[in-house]
Structure 1
Amino acid sequence: MKKNLVKIGVLVGVCLVVSHFSKTVLSEDGERRSLISYADEVVAQIGDSLLFETGLTQHIVDSVGAKVALGCLENSVDYFDTLLFRRVALSVLERNSRIDGAFILLLKKKDGANVRLEAAAYWERKKDSVEVTNCTRDNCLLWNSESLIWETVSKDGGLSSWIAPHFNLLIKKRVVTYACEIKLSDSLFCYVGADYTVSKVYSMLNGWKAGRIGYPYLMNNSEEFIAHPNSDTRTLGEIGRAYGEETLVKLSENIEDTARINPTDYYHLNTVSKAMCWENVVRLDSLGWLLGVSITDQQVYSNPQYFNQQRKNCMQSSFAYLGGLLIFEILVILLLFRKEEVASLVGGTVLIIFIVEIVLLCHISIRYPSIDFSDMEIAKSASQKSKLLREGVENNKDTQKISTNFDRWNFSMLLDEDGAKDYVNLYRRGLVGKTDLQTFLVPVGVYVLTVKFTDSYTTTLSGYVWQIIPYGQNIQPGILFPDAENSNFDHKDSAFVVGGNHEKSIFYRWHFSTEIREPFDYKRFPFDYNALWIRIWPADMDKNVILIPDFKSYNLIHPSFKPGLDNDVIIPGWEIDGTYYSFKEKSYSTSFDSNQSNFKDGFPELHYNIILRRDYFDTIITRIIPIAVLLFMTYSILWISKREDALDVAIACAGLLFVAVFEHVNLRKNMDATGVIYMEYYYFATYMLLVLASVNAILDSRLSRYLPEYLGFSKLMVIVYWPLLLLIVLVATIITFY
């Protein structure tokens, strides 16, 4: 009967432990579901923005086409040769600054089905101007046997609304085309159309907040990519087969069968980012396209305040759950077993529970690392949340859902221009009434080629940095790294550039090599995260210049895709979790110039951050396993020693203590850390147990001489040895990670 009860008690305990681990895993699964749910909203917003953009272009082209129909008569060929007619296509470009090209084709049907090109004009948007190309039937690259438009018209007798993607032979770029047909007479008709380059389409998609969760892409019904970060021209299935990714092949096979793909069914190693991702794909029926987003499975880069609270909540739950389980198991043992059996069984139960708790706490600390955030980030968070809630009330939206999503997905880093401008506006509001100085926004970018640790706190980096100064603003070009001990900037080139909205700027680029001292925190070693950051200042300190990231220079901006970091960068002993830009609130207590009213208080200083996660497997091999061997040897000495072996036990413990101290000193020397680090608690526990083992042997030897009935502490030490060790480690884990 007792054996059966024991089995039941053990089974219940095991089930409870397994259920707690399952609960933790399900909690993480809930995090993933929350991420995918948020991604659904982002995809819907991107889809709405894309439909609005394409709808606007369709309206422009259709309305221009209607004007052509009203203005053209039977002598339309003569009318086409006039400047007024050629300006028809130009008006398409003028009404939408995102369109990259516009064309008009005049066609004539002869002999029934034969179609002949009479003339054509194509306007291409350049960086600083628009250029027109007049074509005839003999030289028109828009209208030849290699043109997709020619194939579509000649075979189908008319253009579909959207043709995507195809290669425009005239401008030598892959484009997406919308065209409308205008019938002028029974034999004469023309087409007015607009082109987006595929790079422009991707830039638009990526600018609609997709960078917060991954990267977007767009496909036609044949699974050819209209927009892709690598401008890949292969189909989805071809990419999957080329990289051996069966998940992508499966997605390709099933994509025609549903209006929406379930992301959880397609979890794979992304071929672009080399990170684990889900695929969220929806069909845009009005366009006949497929919009997708690769959702990166890396949730550390969300609201740091949320993550810190989530870590504490998980740990508190773990304390309560496993503490209750420990009490339950001890009560079962006390009720069912004799007194002489209770001690060893309780010791074994405590041992198992403590191991589970330590592993669980370390797992939670890795899953939800501690992240610091500034007062500016807190203020920005509160300001944005209040604004969203007000808009939600005005638009009769679910404010509870808005609040929950914001708390979960309010990113602290800069992932798009809107986020950067939010910080800047917050700073500007703080300047009201203090100074009338104008603030200037200057985009900068960083590309790091090499990273090398020269010691525990010094890092050598090299790469490129660039700056885009708006034309006409008297700002001194140049970049400073204020934390650098040694820096070298080699000016490479500069150029006059014109942006998509015709804004003029001057572009400067430098190659840099620098040595930076970083205040790394090794307190949580070997489960530590550290941020290697580059503080970036403008060279012109006389003006109120605020540097912001040049988002347009990066195809992939999500931190897990490591924007601004070369793919070949390797840092021994560390894994690179991601890179991102952020603002840190700084107060300099000086104006840096003769204008004493220009004190930079709460100034948004731009940082480029590289997040490093310790490769703890190496530490387990080189640090934890040797300590475990020492502890097992100490335990074996306690197990086999006799009272008359006191001197031998003391000598053996002294030898083991010397080895432990040597390893400890070596750790401190290599880390050069300040304060106590997590790994040192293992050494402290080892010292304590070695001393206790020696004291136990001496007491047993001495007291047995004077007290013949003395039973000794050896049996008790054998029982409490492992629970005492793990209790010390558990307390240290709680102090370090909670």
Structure 2
Amino acid sequence: MNEKNWQKIAFNTTRNFCLITLSLALFGALFYSWSQKRRFDAARLDAKRATVRVSLQLERELRFAQDIALAIANDLSSGRLSDEEVFARLELDIEKDPNLSDIGVAYAPYAYAEDVRLYAPSVTRINNELQQSQLEAIYNYTRPKYLWYLNTKQRGPNWGEPYAELKNPESDDPVVGFYTPFYNSTGENKEFRGVVYTEYSLGKFQELMNSLKLGRTGYGFILSESGVFLYHPNEEYVKSLENIFNITYEQESEDLRDNLIKALNNEPVETSLSDEVTGQSSWLFLRQLDLNGWTVGIVFIQDEILPDTLTTRRQVIWLSLAVLWCLISLSILILRAYLGNTKRLWIVSSIATLLFALEIGFIWYLALRGRNYTSTRDLLLSQTGVQQLLAPQVELSKRLNQQPPIYVPTGVFIQSLDFATSNDVFITGYIWQRYRPGIHDDLSQGFFLPDALDGNDLEIKEVYRVEETNSTVIGWYFEATLRQDFDFSYYPFDAKDVQIRIWHQDFNRQDLNRQIILVPDLVSYPVINPKARPGIAEDIVLTKWNLADSFFEYEFKNYNTKFGVLNSVIKTRVPELHFTIVLQRDFIAPFISRVGPIMIVVSLLFALLLVSNDDNAMEVLGACGGFVFIVILDQITVREEIVTKGILYFEYFYFVLYFFIFLVAVLAILLLSEKKLGFVKYKNNLIPKLLFFPCIMKLLLIITILVFS
């Protein structure tokens, strides 16, 4: 085959390869963009459907309770239901709806009988049993502060605002209900006789909202017509009858307030919000019920939709590889290197080497870029998120006939951190806990660190105790050496997650018949965004490391022991509170100190290749032996600095060097042979010289891809 045919084949092959890689790059970019958009659109649509579904289901349930009250009122007004039959009717109707907590009739003063001022028969569901009671014996419902009675008398049928339950001593959940008047059936003028009501305990809405699938920390909530929480994962909002508008003023969130006003004006809302305190972005969906003006809200955390960091990195790497090969083949076509011109071949070799180096640097950049923790880990960034993650523990306690879990707010502040060995870290700082009277009375006060190594290096001492209005805050100073499982395989682009595991002293007490769960004391941190590094001293000194993030998280653990208590159960899915400090290695110093000698060795090795000929082949072999000795010493230095079982990423650089030193030595031997191979004879060993740097960088690129993807 003549030279022109070879050139034609080279041109066609390069052109086709360029078109293929260009197509792959364009298709990959479009597919990556489409898949990201599709993922977000699907999650957004699911959240929107959940809002509509909950709204319709809630409205159907409420309408049933409303119809019950209206039917009783109509029968009383028409005379079809006598006053003596009221109790029997109430018991019959409350059985129709197992979610109703209370049903009753509140007569106006002297409307029941001339000698009876107030009369209000009521049937209440207490612990799934129906109990009759007289509301007038509990409180005077005609007083102005009980708005449900007064508003119904003045306005007619209405869904009232929630208020504190007084009829059920077993529940501290507020109630909300439908109220409708009934009138005197005799006489020409309608005379107000009283109010019929059906009421729900706000705790009943939890079952409906728990059916939502909104990720790990997404959640739903329900607002009354005035903005009072009827349901929220944070039970304190419900029990304290918190108004969402008060929260918007406290957080200075005008966008949220404007969207709430739109929703309360019966305008569906779909919007994105960013929380400066937690650093999370979320979608907010609001929809008002046609029945009574209540608003259903859905919050979906956008960060949970994103794929984990490794998946994203793989997709971007494969996309960039298509671009890389497209540029290399394009440079061959533009420079017409397929014609075999030596000068142009050297230019293409240099371009390929540079592009391979840039691709390696790009992968390093992806490895150093911030990780997406939210998609793979249970970060604790808000009280609502904590409640959502712990909801299964509440259900588990019910199934085990235990009391609800006791939550102990716990905070951490780290003052210093030092690495004693490759896997041991010495930490000093403060840990505090908040104990409330009436909740934590039976608990011991204290904690321990299960990862602490040596009792001689462990110190925990109480340094302050502050009595606040509703709680006692106890702070301890601690010093401890903690054993950690660090991964050094990415060295020098590795990161360390220093995790401080905290257990309560009473984690295995059986007499309490309930779980003791530590929760982060989020109110003690002005900003909980991991990028703000909460709980870390601003002047902390870290040698060789940069502080990246800090956050609280739960790790759900399974323990394969009963801890010696034979009549207990094996603990599974136990939420362990971790305070995690993410450290990124300061790679510049080790990179320069290690890459510098390697570059010198590679350059000298290339110089040997350039000057090698039949006359100095033995000198080349001797120099290769010296290079091997230098590389071995440098690798030993790295191994002494980083003690680990596996192979470090940077060690592959040394393996590549060994391989190319061996190849140069083989070429020198081939030069000494009487019968030389064609690629060695061609233009004085030109082919190995042209391929030297591109092959080194390509091999390093392959290793980098395998390690980081």
TM-score between the two structures when normalised by the length of structure 1: 0.56
Match of 2:158 in 1: 161
What SS does structure 2 have at the residue aligned with 1:675? coil
Match of 1:181 in 2: 181
Structure 2 counterpart of 1:731, from 685, 703, 706: 703
What SS does structure 2 have at the residue aligned with 1:604? coil
Structure 2 counterpart of 1:592, from 564, 571, 575: 564
Instruction: Measure how far apart 1:517 and its partner are.
Output: 3.3
Instruction: Measure how far apart 1:24 and its partner are.
Output: 3.0
Counterpart-to-counterpart distance in 2, 1:720 and 1:546: 71
Instruction: Measure how far apart 1:162 and its partner are.
Output: 1.9
Instruction: Measure how far apart 1:20 and its partner are.
Output: 2.8
Q: Which runs of structure 2 are paired with 1:236-635 in the superposition (5 Å)?
A: 242-243=252-253, 245=255, 248=256, 251=259, 260-262=268-270, 266-270=271-275, 273-299=278-304, 314=315, 337-339=338-340, 340=342, 341-345=344-348, 348-349=351-352, 351-352=354-355, 355-356=358-359, 359=362, 363=366, 415=389, 417-418=391-392, 443-452=405-414, 453-455=417-419, 457-458=424-425, 462-464=431-433, 482-484=450-452, 486=458, 515=480, 516-524=482-490, 526=493, 528=495, 530=497, 532=499, 534=501, 568-570=534-536, 573-576=547-550, 579-584=553-558, 586-588=559-561, 592=564, 603-604=571-572, 606-610=574-578, 612=580, 614=582, 616=584, 619=586
Q: Is the 8 A contact 1:163 1:178 kept in 2?
A: yes
Counterpart-to-counterpart distance in 2, 1:570 and 1:33: 37
Unaligned runs of 5+ residues in structure 2 are 1-7, 112-116, 378-384, 538-545, 612-618, 672-680
Counterpart-to-counterpart distance in 2, 1:562 and 1:122: 51
Match of 2:222 in 1: 218
Quick one: structure 1 residues 237 and 511, their matched pair in 2 at CA, closer, same or farther if it must change by over 3 Å? closer
> Which stretch of structure 1 is more off in the superposition, 353-362 or 42-51?
353-362
Q: Deviations over 1:165-217 (max 9, x none)?
A: 79999999997553222223522232244667889868974685657341323
Quick one: structure 1 residues 689 and 317, their matched pair in 2 at CA, closer, same or farther if it must change by over 3 Å? closer
Counterpart-to-counterpart distance in 1, 2:40 and 2:218: 14
Q: Deviations over 1:596-628 (max 9, x none)?
A: xx797x752624254858465x74666658877
Q: Is the 8 A contact 2:227 2:243 kept in 1?
A: no
Structure 1 counterpart of 2:645, from 675, 689, 692: 675
What SS does structure 2 have at the residue aligned with 1:36? helix
Instruction: Measure how far apart 1:337 and its partner are.
Output: 3.0
Q: Is the 8 A contact 1:689 1:725 kept in 2?
A: no
Q: Deviations over 1:21-57 (max 9, x none)?
A: 4433433333333433443454456446644654565
Counterpart-to-counterpart distance in 2, 1:724 and 1:555: 53
Quick one: structure 1 residues 241 and 537, their matched pair in 2 at CA, closer, same or farther if it must change by over 3 Å? closer
Instruction: Measure how far apart 1:276 and its partner are.
Output: 1.0
Q: Deviations over 1:299-331 (max 9, x none)?
A: 2899xxxx6996798589669967985896698
Counterpart-to-counterpart distance in 2, 1:615 and 1:223: 43
Instruction: Measure how far apart 1:522 and its partner are.
Output: 4.3
Q: In structure 2, give the amino acid aligned to 1:534.
A: R
Q: In structure 2, give the amino acid aligned to 1:337.
A: Y
Q: Is the 8 A contact 2:209 2:220 kept in 1?
A: yes
Match of 1:24 in 2: 32
Q: Which runs of structure 2 are paired with 1:628-647 in the superposition (5 Å)?
A: none
What SS does structure 2 have at the residue aligned with 1:298? helix
Larger radius of gyration: 2
Unaligned runs of 5+ residues in structure 1 are 110-117, 374-410, 426-437, 494-506, 704-708
Instruction: Measure how far apart 1:96 and its partner are.
Output: 6.9
Quick one: structure 1 residues 330 and 718, their matched pair in 2 at CA, closer, same or farther if it must change by over 3 Å? closer
Counterpart-to-counterpart distance in 1, 2:331 and 2:78: 92
> Which stretch of structure 1 is more off in the superposition, 31-40 or 476-485?
476-485
Q: In structure 2, give the amino acid aligned to 1:233.
A: N
> Which stretch of structure 1 is more off in the superposition, 24-33 or 360-369?
360-369
Q: In structure 1, give the amino acid aligned to 2:644.
A: T
Q: Is the 8 A contact 2:77 2:183 kept in 1?
A: yes
Counterpart-to-counterpart distance in 2, 1:478 and 1:124: 46
Match of 1:387 in 2: none
> Which stretch of structure 1 is more off in the superposition, 164-173 or 13-22?
164-173
Counterpart-to-counterpart distance in 2, 1:52 and 1:489: 57
Instruction: Measure how far apart 1:731 and its partner are.
Output: 0.9
Counterpart-to-counterpart distance in 2, 1:174 and 1:439: 24
Q: Is the 8 A contact 2:501 2:577 kept in 1?
A: yes
Counterpart-to-counterpart distance in 2, 1:25 and 1:718: 38
Counterpart-to-counterpart distance in 2, 1:687 and 1:633: 16
Instruction: Measure how far apart 1:295 and its partner are.
Output: 1.0
Instruction: Measure how far apart 1:692 and its partner are.
Output: 7.9
Q: Is the 8 A contact 2:108 2:194 kept in 1?
A: yes
Match of 1:106 in 2: 108
Quick one: structure 1 residues 119 and 714, their matched pair in 2 at CA, closer, same or farther if it must change by over 3 Å? farther
Instruction: Measure how far apart 1:239 and its partner are.
Output: 5.9
Instruction: Measure how far apart 1:275 and its partner are.
Output: 0.7
Counterpart-to-counterpart distance in 1, 2:409 and 2:247: 32
Match of 2:114 in 1: none
Quick one: structure 1 residues 548 and 542, their matched pair in 2 at CA, closer, same or farther if it must change by over 3 Å? closer
Match of 1:504 in 2: none
Counterpart-to-counterpart distance in 1, 2:96 and 2:498: 46
* Identical aligned residues as a percent: 13
Counterpart-to-counterpart distance in 2, 1:492 and 1:72: 66
Instruction: Measure how far apart 1:100 and its partner are.
Output: 9.4
